[in-house]
Amino acid sequence: MAEPLTEAWIEAMDAAASTHAGLLEATADMALVIEYRVVDGNTWHVRLEGGTARVVSGPAEEPDLSFTTGPATASAIADGTLDPLRAVIDGDVILSGDPRVLVDHRAVLAGLGDVFAAARHP
């Protein structure tokens, strides 16, 4: 598996998401873009819409929601040792946009988390 937060890792997450039949089916009737920014590191975004799921390197044009954090927090979230919600509550991750989209799409986002967890531990 690629080192977390690198371009190769972003590509591996894209390969996992874009080929997962259950995730693609779940995104058929939705449109959601979530951006992730690591201070002094990579930026990528997840685009879930119309039966597609992509993880794309670089910033999104108009994300529905953005998360910004430092490298240590991002690494801990990426390797599964830190719960993202705990990081937000503790103020280690800054949200921009409407957090209600997380609630509106929680089942799909939970599935996306499962896809990424499987990609972390093949």
SS3 at position 65: strand
Higher-confidence position of 60 and 108: 60
108 vs 30: CA distance, rounded Å: 10
- Dihedral, CA of residue 95, residue 102, residue 23 and residue 83, to nearest 10: 60
35 vs 60: CA distance, rounded Å: 6
pLDDT at 58: 97
Report whether pLDDT(2) > 60.
Answer: yes
Residue ranges of domains in the chain, CATH in brackets: 7-120 (3.30.1050.10)
- The closest alpha carbon to 13, from 105, 100, 116, 92, belongs to 116
Beta carbons of 97 and 63 less than 8 angstroms apart: yes
Higher-confidence position of 120 and 111: 111
Higher-confidence position of 119 and 69: 69
Beta carbons of 86 and 11 less than 8 angstroms apart: no
33 vs 38: CA distance, rounded Å: 17
pLDDT band at 54; cut points 50, 70, 90? very high
Average pLDDT over residues 20-48: 94
